[in-house]
Structure 1
């Protein structure tokens, strides 16, 4: 072999060696098993890669969000607290929940003094006349409510990720709130809340604002920025006479807009709320509000008793609270609809989920509205047709079974008394007085699809059983 041929061979060998090394490194870096040992050189290459995340908004933190990361600020009045404290005490967890109740004046009366250990600790709002004089604000109440955000934030609590503002009649479902917020990066700027159910309220104030009584949730960086700009913003918008709109406007100037959440409810409704609560949207229940403005939600109970009764179910499984599950008893042509922890309905006809999921308009709009639309959701009218009107049952009790299930029991509210649905075979459900619902004792946070269920009922029995399960791949609820 000539010298020239040897040189060519060496050159080709070097080239192939280099190419092989490049291919090897590329394979290790992009396809290598992270459990296999690698050199420091390869590790340095890996560190430079930006990992792909299917959930870019999830916080990259060493620990998941929990109740200790939430700071609550509740705005109330001494006068109203006498009858509203039971609303807050139904969900407040002493020595666990962090936060304050901001009162306008010090508490008075034997029912408030000494201060209940089951209530949030209270503070008195800052000197409102002084703040009005400084900002020239047109409405002292609005100023106090908005300024309260800063007053809560400035108290400072180690590890706070989210600031949750509410009223002294806000009913929060804290576990669900934690599970929802854990899906977001608390180091980013987030402004969460809910719209009004009454469409004109959104029109009058803004479709881009969170209604405060339902809960306004701010990530820590946003709360910090808002607190820093608070006095300037109150001066800038001294002419605004609505607190929630002022808060929205201040936040908008920071560069952040509302991200609405379906489970947050202002309850700008009046009267009988049962139709609304029996057809909750497919999202975790986070809050309810305005209980002074609606009828007690359970028969034979006052408002305070009703709230504690609802929270009793929530102690067992908040993730299913008010979640609507629908199934059919084909042999009887019955449709069962269960709003977990609140109510159950039996229809004497096979009804599709597309119809049942629409709330029955048992309630009235927040204010008189001459013409539709009145609500931010679809409704169906009440009916005296025995094929359309449900037999109504309300939540009675809850317990955990030895089979790791949760049993909720629902009892008949009243006789329906309108006859039988002849169209569907004349199968009356009037004799059913109790429904037992069995659900898995497992949280159900990701609810991309509702649960399904099966009915167990013996002819002539006054009791029916509903057993929850995941829906089959090709199952149609109709």
Structure 2
């Protein structure tokens, strides 16, 4: 046995040289990872880059730790550019509609006319969008629809013309894609009727489907819109269509005055405007429909909610000889002519907000339609009041 004080054996020389060799290889490998060779062509996206405090002529150095991580801003009104098509002949009347909703210091947009307006009022510059003239190239496109007008081509092209203005800070990927191919696309659809038809056709070629938004009233009708608006679904109302060929939405006033009255409710609660609520008074055997900020109807019978949601046909087809059952993109029900089956109709007269109670009050006057009166049951009051707080609606009777 070895004594505790004996010294260990020394390693052979070849073993020492082997350990030294392995150590040097490891050292060179480690240094190569830390300081890569500058003689190699490197991928700047994969290789580490020096961080400097200055910018080279064609290079931006960004640290992955300190780069700008600002959250993109949500879409706001100032991100939207409005392209409005109009004609010089009708501009003196149409501009009054735009004045009702245009906010000069908050909105961006342009009115595209077919030719300059003579004698335009200087005061309009402060209340309307800027006016531009559409390019005179639409005559080169074919238009073969016998029921429409070639101006539909010019109207559809304002999408491209607005994009070419190059405005900054706009959300408009689809518009830019349309601008690149719209003229070629228009040539393929000479038989279509309107501008919206052409834009939808070009969107289809780009593989972009339409999103149905029930608040867009893009309906081609004549006459009285009451049935359409009084049955408005639970969704924000976004637009009205063909205002010059339909009756004013409120009686006894002109079209612009009627829209001005609608703005009273719109300013108080634009998200809930016109949306229909249905309730029942069992004691009186009444069905009550409240289209808040627009109208109230009282039926002297119990009508199912399912039926109340179907639009009353108070308007006429755009095409006089169209089939009533296929002419619309929505279901309709006949407007009853029997005085006992027709509702008592109340139209908005005023609305206001009470901050102490945190609720909105709106008043409606009875619209007396001509014809015989129903002698069955009890007639509705002369006016009604509607109180709206959060998502609840209360109905009160006037005298």
Provide, for residues 213-259 of structure 1, a one-character-per-residue CA deviation record: whole Å limited to 9, x for no partner.
xxxxxxx1111111122333345556766433222222222221222
Give the corresponding residue for 1:232.
Answer: 184
Tell me how far apart the structure 2 counterparts of residues 79 and 272 of structure 1 sit (CA, whole Å): 25
Q: Offset at 1:109?
A: 2.6
Residues 1:328 and 1:308: Cα distance change in structure 2 (over 3 Å)? same
Q: Which residue of 1 aligns with 2:79?
A: 69
**For each residue in 1:281-335, what CA deviation from the matched residue of structure 2 results, as whole angstroms up to 9, or x when unmatched?**
2322111110111111111101111111112221111111110011122222222
Q: For 1:117 and 1:81, locate their aligned partners in 2 and report how far apart those are by CA, in whole Å.
A: 16
Which of the pair has more CA radius of gyration? Answer: 2
Could you tell me which of 308, 324, 343 is aligned with 2:276?
A: 324
TM-score (norm 2): 0.74
Aligned CA distance change for structure 1 residues 100 and 230 (closer, same or farther; 3 Å): same
Give 1:313's match in structure 2, choosing from 265, 269, 280: 265
SS of 1:100 mapped into structure 2: strand
Q: 1:439 aligns with which of 385, 388, 397?
A: 388
Please tell me whether residue 400 in structure 1 is matched to residue 353 in structure 2. yes
- Relative to structure 1, is the Cα distance of residues 409 and 149 closer, same or farther in structure 2, using a 3 angstrom cutoff? same
Return 5+ residue gaps in structure 2 as ranges.
1-69, 145-149
Structure-1 separation of matches of 2:111 and 2:238: 19
CA distance in 1, matches of 2:155, 2:221: 23
In structure 1, C-alpha distance between the alignment counterparts of 2:362 and 2:206, rounded to whole Å:
46
**Which of residues 129, 132, 138 is equivalent to 1:123?**
132
Given the two structures, how large is their TM-score scaled by the length of structure 1?
Answer: 0.62
Cα distance in 1 for residues equivalent to 2:303 and 2:78: 44
Aligned mates of 1:456, 1:386 — CA distance in 2 = 24
Q: Superposed, which structure 2 residues align to 1:174-193 within 5 Å? A: none
- Whether the 8 Å CA contact 1:343–1:394 is kept in 2: the answer is yes
Instruction: Indicate how the Cα distance of structure 1 residues 240 and 297 shifts in structure 2: closer, same or farther if over 3 A, else same.
Output: closer
The alpha-carbon distance between structure 1 residues 428 and 147, as it changes in their structure 2 partners (threshold 3 A), is: closer
Q: Is the 8 A contact 2:386 2:394 kept in 1?
A: no
Task: Give distance in 2, aligned partners of 1:109 and 1:66.
Answer: 35
Are the counterparts in 2 of residues 326 and 452 from structure 1 also a CA contact under 8 Å?
A: no
* Equivalent of 1:380 in 319, 325, 333: 333
* Contact 2:115-2:133 at 8 Å conserved across structures: yes
Residue aligning to 1:164: none
CA contact (8 A) 1:361 1:380 kept: yes
Aligned counterparts of 2:385 and 2:240: Cα–Cα separation in 1: 26
User: CA contact under 8 A between 1:137 and 1:143: conserved in structure 2?
Assistant: no
Question: Paired residue for 1:86?
Answer: 96
1:105 correspondence with 2:112: no
- Structure 1 segments of 4+ aligned residues over 6 angstroms from their partners: none
Q: Paired residue for 1:353?
A: 305
- Check if 1:419 corresponds to 2:374: yes
Specify the alignment match of 2:9 in structure 1: none
CA contact (8 A) 2:386 2:396 kept: no
Q: Which moved more, 1:299-308 or 1:62-71?
A: 62-71
Q: Which is bigger in relative contact order (C-alpha 8 A, separation at least 6)?
A: 1
Is residue 409 of structure 1 aligned with residue 398 of structure 2? no
Q: How many residues align?
A: 322
Deviation at 1:99, TM superposition (A): 0.7
Q: Structure 2 vs 1, CA of residues 454 and 141 (structure 1 numbering), >3 Å: closer, same or farther?
A: closer
Are the equivalent residues in 1 in contact too, given 2:155–2:195 (CA < 8 A)?
yes
Structure 1 residue runs of 5 or longer lacking an equivalent are: 1-59, 162-219, 443-450, 463-478
User: Does the residue aligned with 1:88 lie in a helix, a strand or coil?
Assistant: helix
Structure 1 SS opposite 2:111? strand
Q: CA separation in 2, counterparts of 1:235 and 1:419?
A: 58
User: Distance between the aligned counterparts of 2:117 and 2:316, measured in 1?
Assistant: 34
Partners of 2:338 and 2:310 in 1: CA distance: 17
Instruction: Give the whole-Å Cα distance in 1 for the aligned partners of 2:189 and 2:310.
Output: 40
